Amino acid sequence: MTAADYDDFAAAYAKENESGLFNAYYARPEVVRLAGDVSGRRVLDAGCGSGPLAETFIAGGAEVTGFDVSSAMVDLARQRLGGAADLHVADLAEPLPFADAGFDDAIASLVLHYLQDWTLPLAELRRVLKPGGRLFVVVNHPAAYAIVYPEADYFAVTRYSEDYVFDGRTVWLTFWHRPLHAMADAFAAAGFRIATISEPPPSPDTPAELLPADMGSGSFMCFLFFVLEAV
């Protein structure tokens, strides 16, 4: 995906994320739960999109800086947040325009799986975090890739594309699958320790009509959540 791709469907993507299962009732509430009390903490929202997570963290008393590769997404975030957050157009695949050790926490929610190489992004996120700071990572679950694409090589870092409908509009998103051990190796190489791995159920207040018909145990294979500590 390029900045131009995001710019093209930013409004439709943002509107879908306001009330869709995967963002509103799964990814965002779990990141908020994992983060706990953020009052007084300086938080970097990497790939902030239209700003819904930043808005929640600001309401919790955090001082939030956000950035996104898409200028259209940042414009939407500015409309949502006004002057409550420091917002930038920046690319996680390039050096970040922030000082060393300037943040207590960083969030990379549904961002890293768009990138083939995690070396620089993780190194930059580690650089801008204080020692002992936390990085919250949300990525496509690698086991879900193995289920959906049983003929694929789970152990290979692989590019794939899927179509999604955002506010009635079909768009194609391109991701990079990587196996769990490759994620863990990348985290360690960048100076992070895995503190938590979470595979949560959806939020308890999820409308029933949004849930898969075959929920079974109450969970479903979707995203994988990490809490990493900067060491």
* Average pLDDT of every residue of the chain: 94
What is the three-class DSSP state of 67? strand
- Sorted by where each starts, the structural domains of the chain and their CATH numbers stand as 3-142+179-230 (3.40.50.150)
Helix (H, G, I), strand (E, B) or coil at 86: strand
Asked whether residue 196 carries a pLDDT value surpassing 80, the answer given is yes
CA atoms of 197 and 228, how far apart (whole Å)? 9
Residue by residue, DSSP assigns 126-170 as HHHEEEEEEEEEEEE-HHHHHHH-TTS-TTS-EEEEEEEEETTEE
Residues 82-95 have a mean pLDDT of 97
Can you say whether the dihedral through the CA atoms of 25, 26, 28, 29 is positive or negative? positive
pTM of the model: 0.95
Per residue in 23-76, pLDDT tens? 999 999 999 999 999 999 999 999 999 999 999 999 999 999 999 999 999 999
Which has the minimum average pLDDT: 8-12, 142-146, 157-161, 173-177? Answer: 8-12
For residue 152, what are the CA distances in angstroms to 117, 158, 222? Answer: 20, 9, 18
SS3 state of residue 94? coil
Residue 5: per-residue pLDDT: 65
Name residues whose C-beta falls within 8 Å of residue 151's C-beta, 6 or more positions apart in sequence: none
